[in-house]
A and B are shown apart, each in its own frame.
Chain A
Amino acid sequence: AQSVSQHNHHVILSEAASLELGCNYSYGGTVNLFWYVQYPGQHLQLLLKYFSGDPLVKGIKGFEAEFIKSKFSFNLRKPSVQWSDTAEYFCAGYNFNKFYFGSGTKLNVKP
């Protein structure tokens, strides 16, 4: 069955620390992958997306993700987090007309 899994459920970092959130997908065929962010009280917003081409994808707010086909992974990274990055992050894939979401990672950045 198609699925997307996230390894970290809750991450706590201090400001300026580096961030890496893991995501794996388990389906074949066309690979469309996304990272969404949900700030407290706000709707889900797209951070970045991968459809094809360069496996290193740049998104908004300094986030990037790397698609590694051999590892079925699409990890999210940010070199230096800020307090305003406190949010819940969701990895997602699109396959057979549906979006599949991971269970989410809550990031808490301490000032």
Chain B
Amino acid sequence: DGGITQSPKYLFRKEGQNVTLSCEQNLNHDAMYWYRQDPGQGLRLIYYSQIVNDFQKGDIAEGYSVSREKKESFPLTVTSAQKNPTAFYLCASSATQGRGNTEAFFGQGTRLTVV
């Protein structure tokens, strides 16, 4: 089954700790994205990557870091510098890079709660 797998589904973190969210895709997509979803704010872009070993900051990158060492994988680290990390995190991927006529495919999401 082709798709995007995010793990874990639920994650609890103590204040001051870093935590890494996993995102794997087997769709052979070049581009991958991380979004944060908060009630009433829609999806806000954290980081995106168009190709292996390259990524760009989105609108709310502060307190987050990513890596793209493999085409299939785009893990997101929520660092202790992120002031309000409790949220629902969505990973997405899309086929074409640098051109239009594409669509985003989403994972099931990870709900992160800081305790």
Contact = CB atoms under 8 A, between A and B. Distances in A.
A94 interface: yes
Interface residues of A, number: 24
A51 B66 CA distance: 30
Contacts of B103: 34, 46, 49, 94
Interface in A86-111: 90, 92, 94, 97-104
B42 A9 contact: no
Contacts of A44: 90, 92, 104, 106
A103 B97 contact: no
B2 interface: no
B48 interface: yes
A90 B42 contact: yes
A18 interface: no
A44 B114 CA distance: 24
B109 A92 contact: no
Interface in B33-77: 33, 35, 40-45, 48, 50, 58
Interface of A: 6, 9, 30, 32, 34, 36, 42-46, 49, 51, 90, 92, 94, 97-104
Give the 4 A-B residue pairs with the shortest CB-CB distance, closest first: A101-B43, A103-B42, A44-B106, A30-B100
